[in-house]
Amino acid sequence: MKRRTWLLGTTAGAGALLVGWALTPQRSRIGLGQLMLPGEGDMALNGWIKVLPDGSVVLAMPRSEMGQGVHTALPMLAAEELDVPLSAMRIEQAGADAIYGNVAMLVASLPFHPDEEEREDGFGRVKASRWLVGKVARELGINATGGSSSVADAWEVVRMAAATARASLIGAASLQWKLPVEDLSVANGVVTHPSGLSAPYGELARHAAATPPGEVRLKERKDWKLIGRPAPRLDLAAKVNGTARFGIDVRLPGMLHAALRLSPVLGGAPGRIDASAALAMPGARRFVQLPAFAGSAAGIAIVADSHWQAQQAVKAVEVEWSAPTQGRVDTRTIAKELEQAVKTGDGHVFHARGDAEEARRTGTRTLEAWYSAPYLAHATLEPMNATVRVVGDRVEIWAPTQVPQMCRGVAARVAGVPLANVDMHVTLLGGGFGRRLEVDYVAQAVRIAMDMPGVPVQLLWSREEDTAHDFYRPMHVARMRATLDKAGEPVALQIKSAGDAITPRWTERGMPALAGPVELPDKTASEGLFDQPYGFAHQKMEHVFTRSGVPVGFWRSVGHSHNAFFAECFVDELAAELQRDPVELRRGLLKKAPRHLAVLNLAAARAGWGGKLPAGRARGVALHESFGSIVAQVAEVSIEGGQPRVHRVVCAIDCGTAINPNIIAQQMEGAVVLALTAALYGRVDVHDGVVQQGNFPSYPMLGLAATPQVETWIVASERPPAGVGEPGVPPLAPAVANALFALTGRRNRSLPLTA
C-alpha cells in the first residue's frame, strides 16, 4: 500500500472514531469580546467585532497586508453583514487566540485530486480528511497570511461574527423599546422601527454586549450592497500621503540601528573575527556574532546610531569565513542531479488514471520534452527588517511578517522567555510573496537586541544580503510525455518531475515542534501538474523529492509558478505537433471541465483570438487553476532589440464570488508584472556555494516602460470566494513562451525566456 494512501486513509479512519469530538461549526471561531483590545468607551460584541461610541466598527485583523488588499476585503465582509458604510470600518491587530488561525490554508494543503471528491458518496475519505485537518487547524490556530487563503478563510467566520453582532444590537434595541425583533431593521449603522424610533450602533453597543444574539442569519445574496461591487481600498490614502507604516518606517525613542553580514558561502560560518576597526568608526556601538537561526546563515552584526553608520561599520569587520563541512553546492551540478533523478529516481505518484504505461506502449506516437525552471529570489521592495526591544524577561517586536505567532515563538526561543512575555506588532509589508513566512530576520533582531537591553534596535538587511540569503523558489525539472492513439488523438499524459520539497523545510525552520521524522508528500512540488484539468484518458503524475542543500521557501504561487510553465507549454507543443489551434485543442480536452472552458473562452474572446495582429506580433495562451481560482491569459508579444516585448495581457478569472472587482483587477496586474519579471529575467545561480546575484543590476526587475497593458475580466459566480493574490502568476510565463513560439518557431523549454 502506498504511504500516502495509508497515511490519509488512517487519518480518515481516525476522524470516524472521534465520536466525542463533534463537528464544530464556524460559529465556534467567533469567540468572546474579551479577546479584543479594550478601549475607552468601545464595546466588544465578540472576538472579531467591537463598536466605538461614534458608531464606527472595529474588526480584529488576523491577516497581514502586503498589497493584496486584505485590509479592505475583510472589512467589506463585516460591513456587509452589519449594514454600515465601508468608511465606518476600522481594523486592529488580532490577538494570538486560536479563533484567528488560518484554517482554509491548512485544509488546502491536502494533496487530493479534484476528481477524488467528486467520485465520493457522502462522508468519504477526502471529506473526512478535510474535516479532520480543519478540526486540527482550529485547535492549532496557526495565524498565517499565505496560500491566497485570507478571504476564503474569513468568508464564513467574519460574516458570521458580524451577523452575530448585528443580532445582538437589534436584540438590545428590542429589549429597550420592548418591541419584537422582527419589527426592527438596520441600515447605515442605525437600528430603526417603523414607529420612528431609532438608535445608532454606538448608543446600543453597551447593552448589546450583554444581550444574547438569538437566531443569527447571514444576509441573502440578493440583499448585498457592498460585496461584489468596486470599492476604494481603505489603506489607499495612507499609502499616498506617506503615513502608512511599514516595518522599515518604525521609529521609537532612543532607537539604534543594526546591519549584518552573513556567510557568503551557503552553510558557512565566521571563523577568525577582528571588529576593532569597525567599533572605532563613528556611531558604532556594539559588535554581535550571529549563529544560524531558523534556517538563516551564520554571520555578524554591528549596532550603531544610524543605519548608514551600522552598514559602513559592518563592512569594516575583518572576517575569515569557513566553508560548510558537507561541501559547497552548485546549481550546475544540481541541474544534472535533478535530471538524473527523473530518469532513475523513485517518484511519489500524486495521481494516476487508467494505464499510461500501457497506452504509451500501444500508442502510435509519443511526444516527449524536458522542461526546467531555476531558483528564484523574492526581491521584495522592502528588504528584511525587524525592530526589537528586550527589557528584562519581556520582548517586544515590530515587524512586517506573514506569521506573527511564529515570530513570537522564535523570539521566545532565542531570548529564553515564556511565549506570553513576547508582544508582537505587525506593520504593513513592503512585499511578501512568501519570503515573510520565514522568521530568520526576527530571530536575528532579537539576538542583537539582547545585547542592548532596554534599547529598541532596528535590524535592516542590505539588498545584497537579501538576495544572497533568501529562501528560494526551488529549481525543478520535468519530463513530459503525451501519447497519441491510432486515430492521432492524445490519449495519455505522463509527467515526472524532480525538485526539493518546501513544506517540510519550512516547518523545520519555523515550527520545529511540528517537524517529524515522517514527511508527508509535499503537494506544492506537483501542484498544477497532478491536478491539471485536461481530459486525457490515461494519466500518471509523479514527483521525485530531493534535498539539494540550497535553502528553499514559498514563492508567490509556489509550485504552480513553474508547473504551469511545464504543463501549458507542453499542451501548446502537442497542439503544434497535431497542427491544431492551441485554443481549439484545449477546448477539446476540457469537455468535462466547464468552469475551465468558460474561462478559456472568455479570455480568447476578449483578446480577439484568431484576429489580425500588427506585423511582428503573435499571441500565446495559457490556462491554469491554482488556489481555487481558474485564470486564462492571452499575451501579445513581439521581439524588440532581440528581446521579447509583451504589449498586452488579457486575463480572465473565475475566483468564485468576487468580493471587490477593483482589487481583483489590481492583483491580476501586479501578478503579471511579477510573473513577467521572473519569466524574462529571474534566475539565481549558486557557484561553489556562493549566490551570484546581488542587487538589481544582476537580478533585474521589469521596468515601467516594458510593462504591458493588462485587462481583467471576471466570470460571474455564486461559489464561495477563492484565491486572488497568486493565481494570476502561473499562466503568464507559458502564455509568453507560447506566443514566442508562434512568432519565431523556436520552443524555449527553460526559464528565463531570455536565457
Report d(CA 424, CA 403) in Å as an integer.
10
**CA dist list (Å): 404 to 40, 93, 397, 740:** 26, 10, 10, 43
**Percent of all residues in the chain with a pLDDT value above 90, rounded to a whole number:** 90
Q: Can you read off the three cell numbers belonging to residue 647?
A: 504589449
Those residues with Cβ within 8 angstroms of residue 568's Cβ, 6 or more apart along the chain or in another chain:
622, 623, 624, 731, 734, 735, 738
Predicted pLDDT at 121: 65
Cα first-last separation, the chain: 43
Measured in degrees and rounded to the nearest 5, phi and psi for residue 83 equal 60, 50
Domain range annotation of the chain: 31-102+141-241, 247-325+384-460, 331-376+472-744
Q: What are phi and psi of 300, to 5 degrees?
A: -135, 160
260 strand-pairing partners: 301
619: left (phi > 0), else alpha (psi -120 to 50), else beta?
A: beta
User: CA nearest 710: which of 655, 667, 679, 657?
Assistant: 667
Give the pLDDT confidence score for residue 115 in this predicted structure. Answer: 80
CA–CA dist 356, 368 (Å, integer): 14
What is the rounded distance in angstroms from the CA atom of residue 197 to the CA atom of residue 170?
Answer: 12
The C-alpha cell that represents 109 in the structure block:
494543503
What residues form DSSP beta bridges with 259?
Answer: 302
CA distance 187 to 200: 10
Q: Do domains 31-102+141-241 and 331-376+472-744 have the same CATH topology?
A: yes
CA 194/CA 468 separation, integer angstroms: 67
Whether domain 331-376+472-744 has CATH 3.30.365.10: yes
Q: What is the pLDDT of residue 520?
A: 85
Judged by DSSP in three states, 754 sits in coil
User: What tens digit of pLDDT does each residue of 561-617 get?
Assistant: 999 999 999 999 999 999 999 999 999 999 999 999 999 999 999 999 999 999 999
* Among the listed residues 32, 105, 28, the one whose alpha carbon sits nearest the alpha carbon of residue 63: 105
Per-residue pLDDT tens over the stretch 60-82: 999 999 999 999 999 999 999 99
Burial class of residue 145 in the structure, from the number of CB atoms within 10 Å of its CB (0-12 exposed, 13-18 middle, 19+ buried): buried
Asked if 66 and 235 touch (Cβ cutoff 8 Å), the reply is no
Give the model's pLDDT for residue 468.
98
Residue 58 to residue 75: CA distance in whole angstroms: 9
* Residue 214, CA atoms < 13 Å, CB-side half-sphere: 14
pLDDT at 12: 38
Report yes or no: 730 and 710 within 8 Å, Cβ to Cβ.
no
The CATH number assigned to the domain with range 31-102+141-241 reads 3.30.365.10
**Sign of the torsion formed by the C-alpha atoms of 479, 357, 119 and 110:** negative
Report the predicted TM-score, pTM, of the whole model to 2 decimal places.
Answer: 0.95
CA–CA distance, 633 with 604 (Å, rounded to integer): 8
Output the CATH code of domain 247-325+384-460.
Answer: 3.30.365.10
Per-residue model confidence (pLDDT) at position 513: 86
Report which of 555, 557, 297, 561 is spatially closest to residue 437, judged by C-alpha positions: 555
Q: Which residues contact 242 (CB under 8 A, 6 or more apart)?
A: none
Q: What pLDDT is stored for residue 16 in this prediction?
A: 38
Q: How many CB atoms lie within 10 A of CB 133?
A: 19
What is the spatial distance between Cα 425 and Cα 398, in angstroms, rounded to a whole number?
Answer: 5
Grid look-up 491539471 returns 532
DSSP string, 238-291: HHHHT---BGGG---TT-EEEEEEE-SBTT-EEEEEE-HHHHTSTTEEEEEEE-
Alpha helices by DSSP H, listed for 473-578, are 503-510, 560-578
- CA separation for the pair 275, 290 (Å, rounded): 14
The three cell numbers locating residue 323: 566553508
Q: Which residues pair with 92 in a beta bridge?
A: 60
Q: Which residues of the chain have pLDDT under 70?
A: 1-27, 118, 121-123, 755
Q: Which DSSP state fits 381?
A: S
DSSP-derived 3-state class of residue 487: coil
Which grid coordinates belong to 558? 509556489
